[in-house]
Amino acid sequence: MPNRTVFFVSDGTGITAETFGNSILAQFSSRHRHVRRPFIDTAEKADQVIAEINGTAVVEGKRPIVFITLVNDTVRDRIASRCNALVMDMFRTFVEPIEAELGIKSNHRVGRFSDVAKSQEYHDRIEAINFSLAHDDGQSSRNLAEADVILVGVSRCGKTPTSLYLAMQHGIKAANYPLIPDDFERDALPSSLLPYKRKCFGLTIDADRLSQIRNERRPGSKYAALANCRYEINEAERLMKREGIHWLSSTHKSIEEIATTILSDIRPDRLIY
């Protein structure tokens, strides 16, 4: 059983509350049941969440932990005062002190997704997602000149999730291409990538981990055999080194860490908001 139930309550998507709350909870070794309650923007919806939170406290015999990002004062005060829980109000903790320091009021937007029709950043992210999906796993070599980065590496080393994370979080147009035995036999990058070699960034992975991942997809196959994984990884790393392509191992890194390293290499301006 988890040690405690944690609620993430927001009048937006709840992503901000959940992301911030999880980063704090990661500092503790306890396990938690997570419940996200988005779009709580009326007193009636607030009362429903309050009843759920208080009911959880009764059933579990422990106060839930509640992270809230609520800009509506009525809803926020209602939840903060009526919940039998530890309520962590992220706006009052961070936004109000900054308002006092800057001497201006915040715009009290509901999350990062408000007014999306007017947001160039949102439009760029949608374009990047479409681009990354169209150029996943070497499906297309069209418009590669538009790519911000082209991830290369052996199959199942983390190229696709990293590409999509770069697109969704940073608006980066990321294509990805697998390096396959044919490339190793020719001792060359895929011909479609040669004009864009400077855009390439490589991913590699430990052979044992790659074999484990591939066995989940094709158990007992040559594709997943440890010896084959070692061969492909060695050849891919040799090829990337010879071509002057920067690369890193995804074995012990999160997607966020991989993406940040790539951004530092190709677009350091994207680390400044």
* Residue ranges at the known binding site for ADP: 153-160
- DSSP β-bridge partners for residue 86: 65
Amino acid at 19: T
* Number of CB atoms found within 10 A of residue 181's CB: 12
* Cα–Cα distance, 164 to 195 (Å, whole number): 23
For the annotated binding site, the residues are 153-160
Phi, psi of 88 (to 5 degrees): -105, 105
Asked if 64 and 57 count as a contact pair (C-beta separation under 8 A), the reply is yes
Helix, strand, coil in percent for the chain, rounding step 5: 55, 15, 30
H helices present in 3-154, as ranges: 15-25, 43-60, 73-82, 90, 96-102, 120-134
| DSSP-based three-state secondary structure for 33 | strand
Contact indicator for 74, 44 with CB cutoff of 8 Å: no
Please give the sequence-ordered ranges of beta strands (E in DSSP) within the chain, or none if there are none: 4-10, 32-37, 65-69, 86-89, 149-153, 174-178, 200-204, 247-249
Q: Do 247 and 204 contact (CB within 8 A), yes or no?
A: yes
